[in-house]
């Protein structure tokens, strides 16, 4: 998330390439963007324990502050937007931001063929890790699971890689065409028994395609991914990643800091404004990744990153973000921890035993203890320069 960086060391290469800090003289990036690590850690914090932490506070006594925060830490049932609905788009944005840095770094020593092979290999690893995580969660083999982050990230990352060689204008045009094309697809293409322009829960074109392709697959699941779009709704995630690609190129440029801040702010505010302006016609629905949702969520993600970038990399206020940085530098390890470890059960050994003493605070103490265990493990990895990357 001044903190001193660990020296360069050999890393376990299993998520997205580390990005660099813009060279104010206009040269290639050389150091990590502390703000991006911190922002990644901040977003991941809410997934691995922040939600449970606030739920624990709420159980001590409800008030409009805790109720409001907990409300924002749950996905919108269908239409609308909450903070938790912006977590996934934030990751898509950060994936795109990393591509210009990693591409520029590797292109100094690798041929075009080697770059392409590396990108395809990385995408394949991310995709298969998504399969593994879902298979562990479900207890049955699951190759395709596009309603969680890793597989769409793999697809969008690969698209961003191939577009990294194109001009920013072309990249922006592709992002706009994807969003526009997806909006037109849902607005004008019907399905059997489903009129064009239908956005009802489990009664829309996206859901129809998923059911047609995966009905037999879902029948094996202990639950059905109600409402979530997968195949068609993966397409517009590429646009969010391309916005990140454009911002990454901006951050890597030698443009003045004030200019970079203004551009990121304009992109963020423009996405929010355009998305809400479109929402009366195309509703904001995360589970379908509608175009209005894509625009608004990408805009919110840009504005959140802008705050981190302004405070940390421009303002130099870094020390406060160190706990988030430790999380953000090992985001893949954090993401997998809930699937392949039993840390929550370890924390529960102590909190359940003390339940008669803890009373209503048991949930809060459990959340704090679990977060402490997770962070200390990540700090141990950080100190030893062990970073899991794809």
Q: Which has more pLDDT, 20 or 277? A: 277
- State the Cα–Cα distance between residues 76 and 346, nearest whole angstrom: 31
Q: Alpha-carbon Rg of the chain, whole angstroms? A: 21
| pLDDT (average), residues 358-375 | 89
CB burial of 218-237 (b: ≥16 within 10 Å; e: otherwise) equals eeeeeeebebbbbebbbbbb
pLDDT of 30 reads: 39
In this prediction, residue 153 has a pLDDT band, given cuts at 50, 70 and 90, of very high
Q: Are 390 and 14 in contact (CB under 8 A)?
A: yes
Closest CA to 58 of 40, 47, 74, 45: 74
Inform me whether the pLDDT recorded for 9 exceeds 70: no
Residue 18 has pLDDT above 70, yes or no: no
Q: Residue 179 — very low, low, confident or very high, per pLDDT cuts 50/70/90? A: very high
3-class DSSP assignment, residue 117: helix
Average pLDDT of the chain to the nearest whole number: 85
The DSSP annotation for 311-355 comes to IIIIT---GGGHHHHHHHTTHHHHHHHHHH--HHHHHHHHHHHTH
Band of the pLDDT at 27, cuts 50, 70, 90? very low
Give bridge partners of residue 202 from the DSSP assignment: none
295 pLDDT higher than 90: yes
Q: Predicted confidence band at 334 (pLDDT cuts at 50, 70, 90)? A: confident
**Mean pLDDT, rounded, for 66-88:** 93
Query: In the prediction, which pLDDT does 229 show?
Result: 66
pLDDT band at 387 (very low <50, low <70, confident <90, very high): confident
Across 172-177, average pLDDT: 97
Report whether 204 contacts 228 (CB < 8 A).
no
Give the residue-averaged pLDDT of 162-189: 96
Q: What pLDDT shows up at residue 217?
A: 58
pTM: 0.87
For position 267, what pLDDT does the model report? Answer: 97
Residue 387 CB-half CA count within 13 A: 23
* Every domain of the chain and the residues it spans: 20-383
Residue ranges of alpha helices (H) inside the chain are 34-45, 51-60, 64-72, 87-107, 112-138, 150-163, 168-188, 205-218, 231-234, 237-252, 257-278, 291-308, 322-328, 331-340, 343-353, 355-358, 362-383
What phi and psi, each to the nearest 5 degrees, are found at residue 202? 60, 20
Query: Which residue from 75, 90, 84, 77 is spatially nearest to 36, judged by alpha carbons?
Result: 90
Residue 140, pLDDT > 60, answer yes
- 380 has pLDDT over 60: yes
Percentage of the chain lying above the pLDDT 90 cut: 57
Q: Is the pLDDT of residue 390 over 90?
A: no
CA angle 12, 15, 17 (to 5 degrees): 85
pLDDT bracket for residue 42 (50, 70, 90)? very high
CA nearest neighbour of 96 among 14, 22, 160, 178: 160
pLDDT value at residue 389: 76
Closest CA to 191 of 207, 213, 176: 207
Are 17 and 153 spatial neighbours (Cβ–Cβ below 8 Å)?
no
Collapsing DSSP states into helix, strand and coil, what is residue 300? helix
pLDDT in tens, 271-290: 999 999 999 999 999 999 99
pLDDT in tens, 180-235: 999 999 999 999 999 999 999 989 999 899 888 876 555 555 455 556 668 899 99
What is the mean predicted confidence (pLDDT) over 80-93? Answer: 95
Sequence-ordered list of residues with C-beta below 8 angstroms from that of 353, at least 6 positions apart, any chain: none
The pLDDT assigned to 225 comes to 56
Nearest to 178 by CA among 249, 120, 127, 232: 232
- The answer, yes or no, to whether residue 15 has pLDDT greater than 50, is no
In the predicted structure, residue 138 carries a pLDDT above the cut 90: no
The reported pLDDT for the residue numbered 220 is 53
Q: Which residues contact 284 (CB under 8 A, 6 or more apart)?
A: 79, 80, 81, 275, 276, 290, 292, 293, 296
């Amino acid at each position: 998330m001044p903190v001193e960086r660990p020296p360069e060391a050999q890393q376990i290469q299993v998520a997205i390439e580390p990005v660099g800090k813009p060279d104010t003289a206009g040269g290639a990036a050389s150091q990590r963007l502390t703000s991006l690590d911190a922002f990644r850690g901040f977003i991941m914090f809410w997934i691995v324990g922040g939600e449970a932490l606030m739920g624990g506070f709420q159980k001590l006594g409800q008030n409009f502050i805790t109720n409001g925060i907990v409300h924002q830490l749950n996905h919108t049932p269908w239409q609308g937007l909450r903070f938790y609905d912006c977590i996934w788009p934030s990751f898509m944005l950060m994936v795109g931001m990393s591509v210009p840095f990693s591409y520029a770094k590797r292109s100094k020593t690798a041929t075009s063929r080697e770059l392409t092979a590396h990108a395809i290999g990385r995408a394949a690893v991310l995709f298969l890790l998504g399969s593994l995580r879902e298979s562990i969660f479900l207890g049955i083999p699951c190759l395709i699971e596009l309603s969680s982050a890793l597989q769409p990230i793999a697809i969008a990352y690969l698209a961003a890689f191939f577009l990294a060689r194109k001009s920013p204008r072309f990249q922006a045009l592709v992002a706009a065409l994807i969003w526009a094309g997806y909006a037109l697809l849902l607005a004008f293409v019907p399905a059997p028994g489903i009129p064009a322009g239908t956005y009802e829960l489990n009664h829309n074109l996206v859901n129809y395609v998923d059911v047609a392709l995966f009905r037999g697959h879902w029948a094996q699941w202990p639950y059905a991914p109600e409402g979530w779009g997968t195949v068609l709704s993966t397409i517009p995630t590429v646009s969010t990643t391309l916005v990140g690609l454009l911002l990454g190129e901006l951050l890597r440029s030698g443009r003045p800091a004030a200019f970079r801040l203004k551009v990121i702010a304009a992109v963020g505010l423009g996405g929010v404004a355009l998305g809400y302006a479109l929402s009366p016609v195309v509703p904001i629905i995360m589970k379908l990744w509608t175009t209005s949702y894509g625009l608004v969520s990408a805009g919110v993600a840009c504005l959140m990153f802008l705050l981190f970038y302004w405070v940390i990399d421009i303002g130099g206020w870094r020390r406060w973000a160190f706990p988030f940085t430790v999380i953000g530098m090992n985001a893949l390890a954090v993401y997998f921890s809930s699937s392949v470890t039993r840390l929550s059960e370890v924390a529960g050994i102590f909190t359940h035993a003390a339940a008669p003493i803890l009373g209503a605070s048991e949930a809060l103490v459990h959340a704090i203890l679990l977060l402490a265990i997770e962070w200390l493990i990540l700090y141990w990895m950080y100190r030893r320069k062990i970073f899991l990357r794809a």
